Every structure is written in structure tokens, then in C-alpha cells.
Structure 1
Amino acid sequence: MAFFMGTIYSKSMLQDTAFNVILPHDGRRYIWTEPPKTLILLHGLSDSAATWIRRTAIERYAERYNLAVIIPEVQRSWYQDMVYGVRAFHYITEEVLDIAEKMFHVSTKREDVLIAGLSMGGYGALRCALEKPEKFKYCGAFSGAYDLKDMYRMATEPGGESVLTGLVEDYGAIFGERKEVPKEVEIPEIICKVKNKPVQPSVYMMCGTEDFLYKQTCKVRELCEQSLSDFCYEEWPGHHEWDMWDEAIERMLKLFLGKGRIDFQNQDK
């Protein structure tokens, strides 16, 4: 595998931004017989474009499935087109694949494109896939922070999760001074609309049963089960931690890119 760490200029965000890439490469072949499939991998609130590389075996998994992995960076934007800040949703859905295809010659055909993320990135991946199913065939949402109003509530409570420190200030930049979350970016609203779309993404969702976002996941799981034709959910003991997401990304790739469909519910974790 080849690994590139660099920056690109984003027209959507009007700035240079980190853009990390893993590419299939065996040391001998530099030209593929056909472009590799592509995974857009989204980071969490307190992470960067480097964290997936540092904390998981994603490079090894990419090699196993002959997969190109694109890891963009959107700061603490919650994958929104911010009121005071970057247009992160537009960047991920309208610009990243175009950059990846032109610079790295990977496949951007719908049937070859996956998007996945953890926590804030779990929300981002699910929203992007549901709103743009014509671009993303597969989606992985791990320990997703799906309820943006509930996230704000938790951030204002004393003794809350340390990962939410600064979120109240973030919401002012993302949604404006009143910090009101627009209905159209809420996951339940987006799931309702996907029923009317001509295509749907295949979705793999997971969460640890001790994760502080487990209740949010359970609510979204029910909606997905009712609305999505190809939906797989898993849970197992664990908290909001990298051991969970390292296993989840491998299981998602095995499900979507492995040989044949897998009855994950009957497998040991």
C-alpha cells in the first residue's frame, strides 16, 4: 500500500485542508487494470484526518480489500455548511470524490464508493449517504452522534463527557447565534425523505452497549429498520473508544466487500 499525507485547496471551504490517502500499491505495479473502489473515511469531533491512521489498522484493511481510502478533514464543523465557517457538507458530498478521481484516479462510480465515520463522523457519513445515495452505495456509521439537539443538551450539563467540551461554542458558529438545529439536518427527517428516493445506500451501523451515545443509536436504528431496504446493525459490549471502531471498520468492509453476504448477527464479535 502507498500512503500520502498532504493538503489540498478546497473551493467549498475556501482554504487549504488536510487530505490523507491510502492507495493499493504492491511495489511493482503503478498502473491498475481498473481503478480501485473508494472509501471516504470521516473523523470525529476531537480528531483530525490523521487519527484513523494513527489509531486503527485501516491501512492493513485497505490492503486486504484492495481499497483506496480518502480521509478528509473538516475541523469541528459537524459536517455542516456552517453559518460562520466552512461548507463541510458541500465539501464532502460535492468536492472530495472529484478531487480523489482527478488526483489519484480512483473509482467514483456509485457502486464502488463507500463512506463511513465515527461519532460526529458517524452522523456525517449517514447524512451524506442518505441525502446523496446516487453518489454513495455503502455507508458505515459507528457510535454515531445522530441527535444534534441532544448533543447540545449533554454539552451544557455539568460533569458531562469531556469529548463535548467546547461544543456549545461550536454550535454558535455552525448554526448561528440562536444555536437552533435546522429540521432538515436532523437524521429522522433525512431518513423519512430517503423513502422517496429512487435508490438507497446499504447501511452498516454499530455501537457499544456502554457507549454514552447508545440511546441515540437505538432510536436511529429503529427508523433505519423501518425505512431502509438494506440495513445491518450490530452491537457488543464497549464504550466510545477506538477498539470498537477498529473492529467496526473491518467488519463493515467484510460485509460490503467480502465474498457474499454475511449473517453478522450470528457471528461472535
Structure 2
Amino acid sequence: MFRTIEKSNPAFESNHLSFITVKTKNLKGRGDICIFVPPVEGLKDIPLVILLHGVYGSAWAWSQKAGVHLTAWDMIQKKELEPMAIAMPSDGLWGDGSGYLPHNNFDFEKWIVEDVPRVVVESVGAISEKSDLYISGLSMGGFGALRLGIKYSDKFKAVSAHSSITELEQMSLFVEESLNEYKQISKQEESVLELALDRKEYLPPLRFDCGTEDLLIEHNRFLHQQLNKAQIAHEYEEFEGGHEWDYWQKHIKDSLRFFNKFIK
């Protein structure tokens, strides 16, 4: 499926993190993925969580700014989680953030939904096509997780997001690129709510949370209210905190626990 896959050498890896760079037509070049696999013998077909970063970040952000791999391993050791792998891809490194959308002749959406799972299956023995997929993210990555999890509900078993952008226009709060660069053919593709309403009968389990001091709190509250109005099942929580790594480091645990409920 891929012309080249470059993998890190296990002799120089640490804390059960490995790194992959792959060339894909969807990015018209290379993309990076950071992968955590718990060091448990005999793992087979374990769940895979795709974890998306926000604007300005890359594949290293969740591990090097929030230590999510250390959090997950600690929870697994304490029997709070079943063994699961976490794939942390770059967003394609376009501008301040790609939005995980197709635009400008790149397909950042297919990079996440198609390429990342395939690369991991080819590269990690504990992951296979039988592995259940989950998706989560923060801010722009929350937008990506909600949007892609809803749109591709046949692929993802559950979705959880933090401090999420909920409509494309909110990208203007963070990026210097014009919103015209991100425009989709259908306005529905730019809205988490509109996609959820359109796919109401086919949604995976959904949860999302936001900090009470977050600049996106009212947008998240509105999404929650409108989902309730449409009688779309979901979990929504608010916690103290802002749009910051201290918040995400703490509350990624909520996503992992949420996913764990659906592991057989």
C-alpha cells in the first residue's frame, strides 16, 4: 500500500514508544506516526486508539507534552484498562493545522481514516485488521475525532474528544491561514452537529468534554444542547480548566476509560 515505511530501531526507543514515517499519496509526501504498544507478552488483535493533536503540534505532541503513553501504561498495570495501543499521527503538517479535512489537493481525512490504521497493521504485530478502532483528540484534533468518528461510524467503535472545535469557522481562533483554504463542497462537512444530525441512526458511542475556562466552552455547550434536542445519545462533561495541556493530560484518562467500556 505504501512506497516506503521507515521505522525506528527498538534498540533506541524508550518508554514503549516507536516512530514511523510513511510516504502516502494522500499527503503527496511523508507523514509521521508515534505509536505506544504496551509491553505485554502475547498481545494479539488489541484495540487501537487513534489520538489526534491540535494546531501547531505534530505526532510527538501527545507523548512529549502530556505523557499519554505513561498514563496509559500506568492504567493498564493497575488493571484500569485492558491492553490497548495508541497511534498518534501528525495532521499532515499543513499550515498551522490541516483540520483533518481534504483541501488544497491533499486528503488529510483519508490520511487519518485509511493510511494510519493500515500502516499500524503492517508495522505492529499486536494490531491486525480485527483490532477495534477508537478515535480521540484535542481542540482541532477533537474536531477531527468527532467529525471523522461520526462520518466513518462503520470504522470506529467509539469516539471521545476534548476541548473541541465544533464548527470549521472556529479554526480562525487559532490559525493564520484563511478559512477559504479549508472550505468543503458541502457545508455539512464543516460541522460536527450537521454530520451527527445527518447520520443520527448510525452513530458510534460519543463523549466529549471541555474546561469551564476554555475559549471553546460555549461552542461545546451548544453542541451538547443541540444533540440533546435531537435526542442523540452522548456523554458530555465539564471540568475546571482552560485550553491547556494540564487539562488534556488529566482528562485523556476519561477517554481511555470510555473506550475501555466497549472492549470485550
Q: Under a length normalisation based on structure 1, what TM-score does the superposition of the two structures give?
A: 0.80
Q: Aligned ranges for residues 70-219 of structure 1 at < 5 Å?
A: 70-74=87-91, 75=93, 76-82=97-103, 84-105=104-125, 106-109=127-130, 112-152=132-172, 155=173, 164-168=174-178, 171-175=179-183, 182-197=187-202, 200-219=203-222
Shift of 1:91: 1.3
Alignment correspondent of 1:25: 39
Alignment correspondent of 2:10: none
Asked if residue 232 in structure 1 is aligned to residue 235 in structure 2, the reply is yes
Maintained 8 Å contact 2:55/2:175: no
Asked if residue 12 in structure 1 is aligned to residue 26 in structure 2, the reply is yes
Distance 1:107 1:125 in 2: 21
What is the aligned length?
Answer: 236
Identity of aligned residues (%): 26
Maintained 8 Å contact 1:191/1:223: no
Moved runs in structure 1, 4+ residues, more than 6 A? none
Counterpart residue identity of residue 8, structure 1: V
Alignment correspondent of 1:47: 57
Q: Secondary structure at the match of 1:47?
A: coil
Shift of 1:258: 5.4
Shift of 1:151: 3.9
Kindly tell me: are residues 258 and 99 of structure 1, through their superposed partners in 2, closer, same or farther at Cα, counting changes over 3 Å?
Answer: same
Q: Secondary structure at the match of 2:17?
A: strand
Give the aligned CA root-mean-square deviation in angstroms.
2.3
Unaligned runs of 5+ in 2: 1-14
Distance 1:116 1:109 in 2: 20
Alignment correspondent of 2:6: none
Distance 2:153 2:248 in 1: 23
Maintained 8 Å contact 1:138/1:201: yes
Maintained 8 Å contact 1:146/1:216: yes
Distance 2:252 2:237 in 1: 12
**1:79-119 deviation line (CA, Å, top 9, x unaligned):** 1101x252101111122112211221314447x22100000
Kindly tell me: are residues 150 and 119 of structure 1, through their superposed partners in 2, closer, same or farther at Cα, counting changes over 3 Å?
Answer: closer
Unaligned runs of 5+ in 1: 156-163, 261-269
Maintained 8 Å contact 2:45/2:130: no
Shift of 1:174: 2.6
Maintained 8 Å contact 1:37/1:108: no
Distance 2:152 2:118 in 1: 15
Shift of 1:57: 2.8
Kindly tell me: are residues 108 and 61 of structure 1, through their superposed partners in 2, closer, same or farther at Cα, counting changes over 3 Å?
Answer: farther
Asked if residue 244 in structure 1 is aligned to residue 244 in structure 2, the reply is no
Q: Secondary structure at the match of 1:144?
A: coil
Counterpart residue identity of residue 87, structure 2: I
Maintained 8 Å contact 2:209/2:236: yes
Counterpart residue identity of residue 189, structure 2: E
Maintained 8 Å contact 2:101/2:109: yes
